[in-house]
Amino acid sequence: MKRNLIALALLAPCALIAQQKEFSIKGKIGKVNAPATAYLTYRQANSSVTDSSAVTNGVFEFKGAIDEPVQGVITLNYLGTGTKGKLVHRRPFYLEATRIKINSKDSLTTAKISGKINVDNEKLTQALKPSSDKMAAFMADYFALPPDKQKDSSVRAVLDKKYNAIDEEQKAAYVGFIKSHPNTIVSLDALKRFGGATPDIAVVAPLFESFSESVKNSTAGKEYAVLLDKLNATSIGSMAPEFTQNDPSGNMVKLSSFRGKYLLVDFWASWCGPCRVENPNVVKAYAKYHEKGFEILGVSLDNEKGKENWIKAIEKDGLKWPQVSDLKYWNNEVAQLYAIRSIPQNFLLDPTGKIIAKNLRGEALEKKLAELFQL
């Protein structure tokens, strides 16, 4: 085995304070031989670890130590040229402190993987299979349609209804698994996928609280708890967290300076296609309601290299309202404060600074503003 020495060096300080437990992996995939190589990749202590093992008569082995169970990936490269390239098969799995066996007569993708957590993961896969199969068939049918049919509003209405039904079935499968398996890290990962990039705190928080203490106190569990705290702080009915950032000219703009007006805090970026598509709707709402007491504060997730693109996008899209950014991309401090993990996103604040609505786009934004201004 050949271990990534840089990753090991980064892990060394953590090994002094964390009680790591040993794991071993033994794989057998058909009768594959050199130059085929197996690669094990996983994260530990905020670092990426990569290990490799030559494959002889289908057999490969790995040994190591981890602090706690973690998701990993086994990659089988038939040319032995790394984790990317041609003739590469990948298989996600859970790495835990035990003896793990990976066996298949022909392919890594069909291999059976042992270990309690991997067994739990297989149960989740089976629970999702009916809805996953339906979704795969639905997407195949959609892409088989001619482009004009894909864009036809009447066709889209039928497709949206079918898609939503499958999506609800899949969500029910996630919730069913999560509720019946509170003691496994698989349920935490299932909750993350169920909640998506913009989790509904009222739905995901009770599910998270149902987990065992071991799951909640895992590294991943603690990280998700922090996210839930941020989501709770920016839920409807909460006072919007205060912040200050620079506008394109370097002037500091403070959120609370907009008190007395209805304010839309709009997260976007010049590189975000969906954001740029949505901008005309926001421009239209601003033109109609600005004089009546409606304001917008744009928060951009552009970076330092994209500052000029940000400024050009503001002008090109006709965004006449204040704009701010610290040009830190996804690490934008306001985005972190508001738990932004996808854009576009927005928060509508009342004149006191309380959040009264979230993620209003298109007609939904117009409808809400009409209600507020009684038009």
| pLDDT (tens digit per residue) in 92-126 | 999 999 999 999 999 999 999 999 999 999 999 99
314 is written with which tokens?
A: 């503001």
- Give the domain ranges of the chain: 2-114, 117-233, 244-372
Q: Provide mean pLDDT across the span 154-158.
A: 92
Q: Do residues 157 and 163 make contact, with C-beta atoms less than 8 angstroms apart?
A: no
- Mean pLDDT, the chain, whole residue set: 93
Q: Decide if 108 contacts 74 (C-beta within 8 A).
A: yes
Question: Model confidence over 169-225: pLDDT tens digits?
Answer: 999 999 999 999 999 999 999 999 999 999 999 999 999 999 999 999 999 999 999
- For residue 213, the SS3 value is helix
Q: What is the mean pLDDT of residues 38-46?
A: 92
Mean pLDDT of 70-98: 95
pLDDT of residue 1 exceeding 80: no
Average of per-residue pLDDT across 20-49 = 94
Mean pLDDT of 72-83: 96
Residue 103: alpha-carbon gap to chain centroid: 31
Query: CA–CA separation, 254 vs 334, rounded Å?
Result: 11
Which CATH number describes the domain made up of 2-114?
2.60.40.1120
Superfamily of domain 244-372: Glutaredoxin (3.40.30.10)
pTM of the model: 0.86
Strands (E), the chain: 2-3, 21-29, 37-44, 47-54, 59-66, 70-77, 88-95, 99-104, 112-113, 244-246, 252-254, 262-268, 294-300, 323-324, 345-349, 355-358
pLDDT-derived band of residue 375, with 50, 70 and 90 as boundaries? low
How many angstroms separate the CA atoms of 310 and 170, rounded? 38
What's 81's DSSP letter?
S
The per-residue pLDDT for 46 is 80
Instruction: Report the pLDDT averaged over residues 279-296.
Output: 97
Backbone φ and ψ for 65, nearest 5 degrees, come out as -140, 145
**Mapping DSSP to helix (H, G, I), strand (E, B) and coil, where does residue 196 land?**
coil
Rounded CA-CA distance 99/117 in Å is: 12
Percent of the chain at pLDDT exceeding 90: 90
The gap from C-alpha 86 to its chain's centroid, in whole angstroms, comes to 27
DSSP structure class, residue 56: B
Cβ contact 348:295 at 8 Å? no
How many Å apart are CA 328 and CA 338, to the nearest integer? 15
Written as six digits, the tokens of 88 are: 């590469």
User: How high is the pLDDT of residue 10?
Assistant: 43
Task: Work out the percent of the chain whose per-residue pLDDT is above 70.
Answer: 95
Preceding omega of 35 cis (within 30 degrees of 0): yes
The pLDDT tens digits for 322-352 are: 999 999 999 999 999 999 999 999 999 999 9
- CB–CB of 130/177 below 8 Å? no
Task: Give the Cα separation of 48 and 43 in Å (integer).
Answer: 4
Dihedral through CA 139, CA 144, CA 147, CA 148, nearest 10? -100
The pair of structure tokens assigned to 4 is 């990534």
What does the chain come to in residues?
A: 375
pLDDT in tens, 215-268: 999 999 999 999 999 999 999 999 999 999 999 999 999 999 999 999 999 999
Q: If we measure between CA atoms, which residue out of 257, 268, 251, 246 comes closest to residue 349?
A: 257
